[in-house]
């Protein structure tokens, strides 16, 4: 089963599974295919995280987050008066961090795949060379980003067709990108980081006053880290460690909520408890989280059951309008990220979230290579203590430094269940080990962690089917600003009770785009759920 945000990419993953590939092979195929068919967020010019859980029980977390160039500096986006320069960190070459996607996907394939890079990249190369039918959503997205994309010659030519905008149903071919992908397939990631593609990146950076040079590209390495592990009502939660804040926040909230009677989903009683847990976890995220290679992150303390007891006592005693302790709010990446989930016939599973940051990244396409670069540098604190473009105040722990990776909210997650768990949720003795139950994740910037939390709770605590769990209306509280964002599906009665209790609410059109797969513990059937908020597809056989 494959669930992704774009149908051609989902099909690419299923084709690789049918060809004998495992979940990692399929995930790498989906990642490269999305770089062709979903340029809004799919990429080889960005970065992200891949969480792997093999049927043997082995787990791994591939960190291929972008990192700051070697010439990056603490105040690089400030003017002479110390104020942020408009758009410097979000548009153009100076906004880009060193891309990690090619290194990360290649590393995952080398360590855990079966078919080899050339085979799993074949669907993406075909889609780029022969083209694919433009969806209505892609046509609208390209048109809506025409101002940013129109600033750069290659972007204007490839994605805007020099003003003759693509319409739904037309075939979109990308021959330069096809050549780039073929070069990677033939020669591996060195083609991107040390070979001809590296020279094309460096040339475009120099031409457009960016900082990334050949030394930055040659020095970049994807890193394999230990996943973060938590426990909730007989389930094992495997999620993202720093430099993501996602796993820490998710486990901290689950720890707080574990013994509480949550009642019904999207009712006042459950929402009040979940919102108060969200507020406390996001305050901690703000104060403590950053790139663990540069700052000390108290992961064990934040995710401990003892700490959750303290927060739960505080939560139950607090009034809804009582302030939560202040930290130094950290930034959250733009919501223009994408997630996909894969489970193969043997039970190997992959949860992958990756991003360009803003929609179509920095807007800059590498000339001759045909791919967009990220604007991930905006995820750093351009000016610690001042709000960024999303109104979030950013802390010193996430300030810019050479080779540093910006804090992320991406939360690829895999949930395991003890098949013999006792009725009270405690694992039974001699159960034979946990079994794969749920694979999920979402885009959505700062809302990602809460989207994953709510879908996970919908399945494990509220016992909804996975598609129901994904479809259910969502809400989001990130501590600052002090308001709750709610989707239209939450009833006005519930909203009125929340307002009466002292909460400030803001209606939004949609939160997240969860792509999930559930595995039935009795039959082994895979159930894919693609979020109706997006334009994706779940498919399997």
3-state class (DSSP) for residue 237: strand
Q: What is the mean pLDDT of residues 119-145?
A: 97
User: Does 234 fall in a domain?
Assistant: yes
Domain identity same for 176 and 239? no
User: What is the residue whose two structure tokens read 């780029």?
Assistant: 128
Structurally, how many domains does the chain consist of? 2
For residues 112 and 173, state if they share a domain: yes
CATH of the domain at 269: 3.60.20.40
- The reply to whether 252 and 302 lie within a common domain is yes
**Strand residues in 153-197 grouped as ranges (E):** 171-172
Q: Residue 423 has what pLDDT?
A: 41
Average of per-residue pLDDT values in the chain: 93
Interior/surface letters 232-249, b for 16+ CB within 10 angstroms, e for the rest: bbbbbbbbbbbbbbbbbb
In angstroms, the CA 108 to CA 92 distance is 30
Q: Residue 273's pLDDT is what?
A: 97
> What pLDDT does residue 331 have?
57
Does the pLDDT value for residue 288 go beyond 90? no
Is the pLDDT at 218 greater than 70? The verdict is yes
Q: Find the angle CA(19)-CA(108)-CA(116) to the nearest 5 degrees.
A: 40
Question: Does residue 57 fall inside a structural domain?
Answer: yes
Q: How far apart are CA 308 and CA 506, in angstroms?
A: 28
pLDDT tens by residue, 15-31: 999 999 999 999 999 99
The 228-232 sheet, strands edge to edge: 228-232, 235-239, 413-417, 435-440, 515-519, 526-530
Answer yes or no: do 375 and 417 share one domain: no
Q: Are residues 70 and 166 located together in one domain of the fold?
A: yes
Of 324 and 404, the one with more pLDDT: 404
Spatial neighbors of 74 by CB under 8 A, at least 6 apart, are: 399, 400, 401
From 337, 365, 411, 451, the catalytic residue: 337
3-state secondary structure of 120: helix
At residue 387, the pLDDT reads: 53
From 76-85, 352-361, 506-515, the region with the lowest mean pLDDT = 76-85
Residues 208, 235 within the same domain: no
> For the segment 70-83, what is each residue's pLDDT rounded down to a tens digit?
999 999 999 999 98
Residue 347: inside a domain: no
Residue 339's beta-bridge partner residues?
Answer: 353
Predicted pLDDT of residue 118:
98
Cα dihedral angle (497, 498, 502, 507), rounded to 10 degrees?
Answer: -130
Q: Specify the pLDDT at position 442.
A: 98
DSSP 481: S
Nearest CA to 349 out of 230, 238, 466 is that of 238
Q: Would residue 293 count as lying in a domain?
A: yes
Domain contains 343: no
Could you list the residue range(s) of the whole structural domain that residue 524 is in?
Answer: 227-332+410-534
Active site residue 504: no
Single out the residue of 363, 338, 364 nearest to residue 352, CA to CA: 338
Across the beta sheet with 349-355, the strand order is: 223-225, 59-64, 47-53, 349-355, 337-343, 2-4, 537-539
Structure tokens at 432: 């034979």
Same-domain check for residues 28 and 127: yes
Same domain for 201 and 298, yes or no, is no
Measured distance CA(436)–CA(418) in Å, rounded: 9
Mean pLDDT within 271-286 = 94
Look at the chain and count its residues. 541
pLDDT of 426 > 70? The answer is no
| Domain-ending residue, one of 368, 383, 398 | 383
403 found inside a domain: no
pTM summary value: 0.95
Pairing type for strands 47-53 and 228-232 reads unpaired
Evaluate whether residue 345 is within a structural domain.
no
Averaged pLDDT, 468-492: 95
216/196 Cα distance (integer angstroms): 15
Distance CA(191)–CA(185), nearest Å, equals 9
Are residues 123 and 56 part of one domain? yes
Q: Is 396 part of any domain?
A: no
Residues 500 and 479 in one domain: yes
On whether both 189 and 232 belong to a single domain, the answer is no
Q: Phi-psi bin for 20: left (phi > 0), alpha (psi -120 to 50), beta?
A: left
- Could you count the other beta carbons within 10 Å of the beta carbon of residue 418? 20
Please indicate, yes or no, whether residues 364 and 238 belong to a single structural domain of this protein. no
Does the pLDDT at position 395 exceed 90?
no
* Higher local confidence (pLDDT), 281 or 393: 281
pLDDT digits 0-9 by tens, 101-118 = 999 999 999 999 999 999
């Amino acid at each position: 089963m494959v669930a992704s945000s774009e149908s051609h990419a989902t099909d690419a993953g299923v084709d690789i599974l049918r060809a004998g590939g495992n979940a990692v092979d399929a995930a790498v195929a989906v990642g490269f295919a999305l770089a062709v068919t979903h340029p809004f967020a799919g990429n080889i010019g960005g970065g992200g995280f891949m969480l792997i859980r093999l049927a043997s029980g082995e787990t791994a977390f591939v960190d291929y987050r972008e990192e700051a160039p070697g010439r990056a500096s603490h105040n690089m986006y400030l003017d002479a008066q110390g104020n942020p320069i408009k758009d410097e960190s979000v548009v153009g070459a100076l906004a880009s961090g060193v891309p990690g996607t090619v290194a990360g996907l290649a590393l995952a394939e080398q360590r855990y795949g079966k078919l080899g890079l050339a085979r799993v990249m074949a669907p993406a190369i075909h889609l780029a060379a022969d083209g694919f039918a433009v969806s209505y959503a892609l046509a609208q997205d390209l048109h809506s980003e025409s101002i940013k994309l129109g600033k750069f010659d290659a972007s204007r030519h490839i994605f805007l067709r020099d003003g003759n905008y693509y319409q739904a149903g037309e075939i979109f071919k990308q021959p330069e990108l096809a050549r780039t992908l073929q070069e990677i397939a033939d020669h591996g990631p060195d083609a991107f980081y040390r070979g001809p593609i590296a020279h094309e990146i460096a040339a475009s950076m120099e031409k457009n006053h960016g900082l990334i040079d050949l030394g930055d590209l040659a020095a970049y390495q994807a890193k394999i880290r230990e996943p973060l592990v938590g426990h909730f009502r007989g389930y094992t939660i495997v999620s993202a460690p720093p430099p993501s804040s996602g796993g820490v926040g998710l486990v901290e909230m689950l720890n707080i909520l574990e013994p509480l009677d949550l009642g019904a989903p999207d009712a006042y009683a459950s929402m009040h408890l979940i919102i108060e847990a969200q507020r406390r976890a996001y305050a901690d995220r703000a104060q403590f989280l950053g790139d663990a290679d540069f700052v000390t992150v108290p992961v064990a303390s934040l995710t401990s059951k003892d700490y959750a007891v303290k927060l739960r006592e505080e939560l139950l005693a607090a009034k809804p309008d009582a302030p939560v302790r202040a930290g130094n709010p950290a930034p959250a990446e733009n919501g223009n990220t994408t997630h996909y989930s894969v489970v193969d016939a043997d039970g190997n599973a992959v949860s992958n979230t990756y991003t360009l940051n803003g929609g179509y990244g920095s807007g800059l396409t590498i000339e001759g290579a045909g791919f967009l670069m990220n604007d991930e540098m905006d995820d750093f604190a351009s000016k610690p203590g001042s709000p960024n473009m999303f109104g979030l105040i950013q802390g010193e722990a996430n300030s810019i430094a050479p080779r540093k990776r910006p804090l992320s909210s991406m939360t690829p997650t895999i949930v395991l269940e003890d098949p013999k768990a006792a009725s009270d949720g405690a694992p039974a003795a001699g159960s034979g080990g946990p079994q794969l139950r749920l694979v999920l994740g979402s885009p959505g910037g700062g809302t990602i962690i809460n989207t994953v939390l709510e879908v996970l709770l919908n399945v494990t605590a509220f016992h909804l089917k996975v598609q129901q769990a994904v479809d259910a209306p969502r809400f989001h509280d990130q501590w600052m600003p002090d308001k709750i964002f709610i989707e239209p599906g939450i009833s006005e009665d519930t909203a009125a009770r929340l307002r009466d209790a002292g909460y400030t609410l803001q209606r939004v059109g949609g939160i997240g785009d969860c792509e999930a797969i559930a595995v039935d513990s009795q039959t082994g059937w895979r159930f894919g759920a693609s979020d109706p908020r997006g334009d994706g597809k779940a498919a399997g056989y």
